[in-house]
Amino acid sequence: MLFKQWRFLIIFACIIGAQACVLNAGKRPTNKYPSYRDTYKTEDVENVLKRYNFRCIYEDGKYFRCFNCTHHIAFILESKEMIFDGTKVFLTRPVVKNPRQNRFFVATVDVEKILKPLLEPEKIKKYLSNGGCIVIDAGHGGVAEGAKNSKLNLVEKRLTLNTARALQSALSKLGYKVFLTREGDVDLSLEQRGQWANKLKAQLFVSLHYNAAESTQARGIETFTYTFASHPSTDRTKALASDGSTEINNRFDVQNTYLAYCIQKSVTIRLGSIDRGVRRARFGVLRHIHCPAVLIECGFLSNDDEAKRIATNAYQEKLVNSIVKGIQRYGHNTIMRTAIMQPTQILKDFQNKKSSLPKRPLSKSQSNPNKQTL
């Protein structure tokens, strides 16, 4: 009797299983997390720059430079680095080469949101009026101390507040209405900083930080903007599925690029610091800002030599003045002339194989807990 009951159950289970197979026949298994295909358009660099009367010269098929009577641009094959009038700017995508045509290509997004703004700043709507509102964010605060140099007793949260106060004073003298996200040693969330700026209807937002890295040799200054939608940040080559979302601050991609360039150029020239370039990252403090916004890493506390400079009044004064000059240049399209070689000199150096090439970036700095990224 017991055997008959077990045989009945087995037969019943087989029938139910067969019915399930019939119902699912022809159905494809679904992938809950489909693979993300990273695709983007490119444009011929030389064709783009010919519209601005540029002439290009090539070296060993890997390096090429383009120049006209006003600008000098250097590119490197398979690299994001671009040197624009002596200042390093990272492209969104590496420069690629078509082997059949022996031509160099850059991403269309880099043409539209990096090259064009730098070549035609007068066409950019700046959003910054005379006497407009500027919000300065002193990074970290409270329990979030940021980078440290224990040997020199330097803490990022104190340095950023001191720099922010000096910058507020300097910009106020020019007629701007300047506010700080924090007046003392308080812990503010990234959202609170952005909400404060938006409540004040800021026309410009500048977040100040000091850097740190595992390597004590890392040094220099870098200026960040929020990453373009659907494209990778500077520390990555390929985009991820999570990069596809468009955030509020992406409305100001063009303005952000030019503002960051103006500040980076001004600061590195006046301080004589190593130029780590204009970069992009999905920093939480920039994500929801309703105006052009940048984050400046004003030097490395993990490098003792640079930290000693940072702690001096002379460095702080030059830093503040150079940021002010960069903002002024951004707002008024004034041209900061640098020692740009004339076309004949560029060709001469090229022929003699003596022209200097852009350097590779230094080791990547550690991320800061107060600058969350995706």
Domain map (residue ranges) of the chain: 42-122+339-351, 123-332
pLDDT at position 2 over 80: no
Helix locations, 51-172, DSSP H? 108-110, 116-119, 156-172
Burial 100-132 (b: 16+ CB within 10 A, else e): eeeebbbbebbbebbbbbbbebeebebbbeeeb
Name the class of domain 123-332: alpha beta
Please give the Cα distance from 107 to 41 (Å, whole number). 6
In this predicted structure, the answer to whether residue 27 has a pLDDT above a threshold of 50 is: no
Q: Can you point out the beta strands (E) in the chain?
A: 42-44, 55-59, 63-67, 72-76, 81-84, 87-90, 96-98, 103-107, 133-138, 148-149, 154-155, 177-180, 204-211, 221-226, 275-281, 293-300
SS3 81: strand
Cross-strand bridge partners of residue 43: 106
| pLDDT higher than threshold 70 for residue 81 | yes
Residue with tokens 């009797």: 1
pLDDT at 25 (0 to 100): 46
- Where does the pLDDT of residue 103 fall: very low under 50, low under 70, confident under 90, or very high at 90 and above? confident
Any idea which of 24-33, 82-91, 205-214 has the lowest mean pLDDT? 24-33
CB 297 within 8 A of CB 210: yes
Give residue-wise pLDDT tens across range 181-202.
999 999 999 999 999 999 999 9
Architecture of the domain delimited by 42-122+339-351:
2-Layer Sandwich (3.30)
What pLDDT sits at residue 220?
A: 98
d(CA 230, CA 107): 12
Nearest C-alpha neighbor of 298 from the set 235, 223, 238: 223
Cβ atoms 88, 275 nearer than 8 A: yes
Do 57 and 44 touch, CB atoms closer than 8 A? no
Give yes or no for a contact between 134 and 164, defined as CB atoms under 8 angstroms apart: no
Q: Which pLDDT score, from 0 to 100, does residue 371 have?
A: 54
344: confidence class by pLDDT, cuts 50, 70, 90: very low
pLDDT band (50, 70, 90) for residue 14: low
CA dihedral 318, 321, 324, 328 (to 10 degrees): -110
> Would you place residue 300 in the very low, low, confident or very high pLDDT band (cuts 50, 70, 90)?
very high
With a cut of 90, say whether residue 367 has pLDDT above it.
no
* Confidence (pLDDT) at 347: 45
Percentage of the chain exceeding pLDDT 70: 78
Instruction: Count other C-beta atoms under 10 Å from residue 22's C-beta.
Output: 9
Q: How far apart are CA 319 and CA 172, in angstroms?
A: 16
* Per-position DSSP letters for 114-139, written without gaps between them: IIHHHH-GGGS-----TT-EEEEEE-
Tell me which of 21-25, 45-49, 65-69, 137-141 is least confident: 21-25
User: How many percent of the chain have pLDDT more than 90?
Assistant: 70
> pLDDT at residue 315 above 60?
yes
* Helix or strand run (H / E) with residue 322: helix 313-332
> When comparing pLDDT for 370 and 200, which is higher?
200
Q: Which residue has the higher pLDDT, 99 or 233?
A: 233
- φ and ψ at 277, to 5 degrees? 95, 165
Residue predicted with more confidence, 17 or 170: 170
> What does the buried/exposed string (b/e) look like for 56-65 if buried means 16 or more CB atoms within 10 Å of the residue's CB?
ebeeeeebbb
How close are the terminal C-alpha atoms of the chain, in Å? 65
Count Cα atoms within 13 angstroms, Cβ side, for 226.
30
How confident is the model over 199-240, as pLDDT tens digits?
A: 999 999 999 999 999 999 999 999 999 999 999 999 998 888
Taking 80 as the threshold, does the pLDDT of residue 113 lie above it? Answer: yes
- Decide which of 39 and 163 is more confident: 163
Q: Determine the pLDDT at residue 18.
A: 54
